[in-house]
Structure 1
């Protein structure tokens, strides 16, 4: 139990209908070897037993605070509320289906104790589960120990964009005063809110530290993929984020180093957006898909990236890029329809193929 009035870490945990795994997540925090923490659970109007579980945990541990929202407004709103009431010197986030090692915050504390960096980042262990709940595979994305000033950050960040570590918020600790100073908020968007938040955070950052290993366990399953279900405005959201990333790289002077990354992200956005048009909620037919593709071909971003796609080295993206460059709309629609069938009807096969 924490005996400290003012915690060093405020850990924000948004929850919504997470009764199956919320206890594992919270107990991974309760059992920390470092106890100068407060746990802020934001219950986003859950309709299952999540609320009761959280209240019971809070009744046992005084460093747990539960906020029950009257309306479900999404993870961005929940995190923003947590930031507003946090008292710790540093703010971190835990997703309700993830967990951390018991010495996670102790390792981070000794790194931050005497040096008040704006942001700290650690590695992530992605754990892939099958439909029965058994671990089928894991992927470790590690970092090396490093301390960086503003100009150094520009040199290393392209690497963390490419290996996806930049995209998470849960593998980072943010100095509360810094977040308040830059007045950053999570935007209420369907997906990509972590990337958007981090772009705003790192745009004017002055000090940044990376800590080797210290893994955050990011739990993934073959049924929780965002692209295994319909998402409204997926294309618009991703293109807006991509343009924001392009502008950030321009500010940093790192357009050349990030050229392949940008092209890969653009190609993914195109093919996933088309795949989503086969869901009935999209209200799309082939005629409308053709119009969508023609809009892509005539867009300024496509024209800008068309030649750059030749720099792609990864085979799957290279092939998809060549088809996109050829503007063979029938072939593109055929490929995206196959992807749709695998993700919606044969998710197990898709999961196996994705891991290879």
Structure 2
């Protein structure tokens, strides 16, 4: 089996047909499609079951209860038999030759992963855009990308515009955060602190659907579990410590900490919760005492020093 496609399914009856159609019609035929039933309450799985009767490459696994995206993807990887892994969100779709082009690059260059560019479809306006978070990718033509401590924060972390070598995931025990939003962030850091080279295909092969129930839509409406971003950040810290690479990546990690605090702080609905959970996270990652020797330490101290609740973490040895 060349490729395993993992599709977690939860309350996407409006979109799952387009998603499955785009996967089943791929020019690369040697694939298995692992649909994870995450116990929704609409007709999504009825649609998936009907598709499975028409295409025997579709395999259905049912969670015992609603477990979320990270858990479902991990189940999919554990039950995969493909040489490569792709995770497609069930409200998105892909261009018909995406997998063929990704596998060709992976086979030829012997890489652990490959990326494609993203086209965003705005559901409410029926328009496409590339002027958003994913535009970072448009600065690069099709080429090898080398990821290190100096640029690891410069790229989109999403799992779905990437294809991975299955053995690399399993051999390094790389998994998504379970029970948390922003699960892609921990996975991305776990993967690309271990694999420093990938290839970006210079084509818009993945279509991301933006709608009110997507993470981006929920963020704008004040419906996200903001505390999850700080739990994920702490998980990344633990992974860096356990892998004995915190010293190497500490500058990048603190840039990530700052970014994750900024992410929600200026949205009034979240400000109080950001202060509460950021304070807890900073204590858990031993800030500031562990990071006094890094290049951007004074900058981060100044940033966090603007928030009164964080000042109690500053020791006499670290002046603003």
Q: Aligning the two structures, in what range does the TM-score lie when normalised by the shorter sequence?
A: 0.7 to 0.9
> C-alpha deviations, 1:262-318, integer Å up to 9, x for none?
53333225445x73367xxx8xxxxxx98x49958x95647867731599xxxxxxx
| Distance in 1, Cα, partners of 2:143 & 2:247 | 19
State whether residues 249 and 255 of structure 1, in contact with CA within 8 Å, keep that contact through their aligned partners in structure 2: no
Structure 1 residues 128 and 309, CA gap change in structure 2 (3 angstroms): farther
Shift of 1:42: 0.7
Partner of 1:87: helix, strand, or coil?
A: coil
State whether residues 122 and 209 of structure 2, in contact with CA within 8 Å, keep that contact through their aligned partners in structure 1: yes
Aligned to 2:121: 127
Q: Does 1:65 align with 2:59?
A: yes
| Distance in 2, Cα, partners of 1:180 & 1:223 | 31
State whether residues 235 and 270 of structure 1, in contact with CA within 8 Å, keep that contact through their aligned partners in structure 2: no
| Distance in 1, Cα, partners of 2:212 & 2:90 | 17
Aligned to 1:263: 258
1:307 to 298, 301, 320: 298
Q: Does 1:101 align with 2:95?
A: yes
Point out the more displaced range, 185-194 or 259-268.
259-268
Point out the more displaced range, 32-41 or 240-249.
240-249
Aligned to 1:233: 227
Aligned to 1:191: 181
Aligned to 2:163: 173
> C-alpha deviations, 1:6-42, integer Å up to 9, x for none?
x311110000111010011111111212212111111
Partner of 1:184: helix, strand, or coil?
A: coil
> C-alpha deviations, 1:210-232, integer Å up to 9, x for none?
32225311111355334230416
| Gap runs ≥5 in structure 2 | 310-320
Shift of 1:110: 1.8
> C-alpha deviations, 1:296-345, integer Å up to 9, x for none?
8x95647867731599xxxxxxxxx5xx644478xxxxxxxxxxxxxxxx
2:71 to 58, 71, 77: 77
Q: Does 1:22 align with 2:16?
A: yes
Q: How does 1:289-308 map to 2 (within 5 A)?
A: 292=276, 295=279, 301=287, 307-308=298-299
| Distance in 2, Cα, partners of 1:294 & 1:104 | 39
| Distance in 1, Cα, partners of 2:58 & 2:44 | 15
| Distance in 2, Cα, partners of 1:62 & 1:77 | 24
How does the TM-score come out when normalised to structure 1? 0.69
| Distance in 2, Cα, partners of 1:120 & 1:239 | 25
Aligned to 2:194: 204
| Distance in 2, Cα, partners of 1:326 & 1:62 | 58
How does the TM-score come out when normalised to structure 2? 0.76
Structure 1 residues 223 and 193, CA gap change in structure 2 (3 angstroms): closer
| Distance in 2, Cα, partners of 1:270 & 1:245 | 25
RMSD: 3.6
State whether residues 32 and 102 of structure 1, in contact with CA within 8 Å, keep that contact through their aligned partners in structure 2: yes
State the aligned residue count: 292
State whether residues 242 and 265 of structure 1, in contact with CA within 8 Å, keep that contact through their aligned partners in structure 2: no
Shift of 1:173: 1.1
Aligned to 2:153: 161
| Distance in 2, Cα, partners of 1:154 & 1:98 | 30
Structure 1 residues 295 and 65, CA gap change in structure 2 (3 angstroms): closer
Structure 1 residues 67 and 246, CA gap change in structure 2 (3 angstroms): closer
| Distance in 2, Cα, partners of 1:179 & 1:205 | 10
Shift of 1:69: 2.6
Shift of 1:207: 4.9
Structure 1 residues 154 and 233, CA gap change in structure 2 (3 angstroms): closer
State whether residues 230 and 276 of structure 1, in contact with CA within 8 Å, keep that contact through their aligned partners in structure 2: no
| Gap runs ≥5 in structure 1 | 1-6, 283-288, 312-320, 330-356
| Distance in 1, Cα, partners of 2:195 & 2:278 | 39
Partner of 1:208: helix, strand, or coil?
A: strand
